Amino acid sequence: MNCKKKILCLTDYYLPGYQAGGPIRSIANLVEHLGDEFEIYIICNDRDILDKDHYSNVKIDSWNIVDKAKVFYASQKSLNIRSYRKILNKTNYDLLFLNGFFSPKFTILPLILRQFLLIKKKPCVICPRGHLSPEALKLKGFKKKTYIEFFKLLNLYRDLNWQASSEHEKIHIINQFGNKVKKIDVVPDFTPLPLKSLNEFKTIDKSKNFLKLLFLSRVSPMKNLDFLLRVLIKVNTPVQLSIFGPKEDQIYWKKCLDLIDNLPANINVVIGEEVPQHQVFKIFQNHDLFISPTRGEAFGNAIIESLSFGLPVLISDKTLWKADNFGGLEVLELDEHLWVQKIIKWSKYDDQIIKKKCEAALNYAKNDYKSNLALKKNKKLFYSVSSNNLVNK
Which segments of the chain have a pLDDT < 50?
Answer: 391-393
Full set of structural domains in the chain with CATH:
6-190+371-386 (3.40.50.2000), 198-368 (3.40.50.2000)
Note the pLDDT tens digit of each residue in 85-105: 999 999 999 999 999 999 999
Report how far apart the first and last C-alpha atoms of the chain are (Å, whole number).
31
Q: What pLDDT shows up at residue 182? A: 80
Q: What pLDDT shows up at residue 359? A: 94
Q: What pLDDT shows up at residue 391? A: 45
Find out whether 269 and 374 touch, Cβ atoms under 8 Å: no
Find out whether 222 and 135 touch, Cβ atoms under 8 Å: yes
Q: What pLDDT shows up at residue 277? A: 74
Whole-angstrom distance, CA of residue 138 vs CA of residue 152: 19
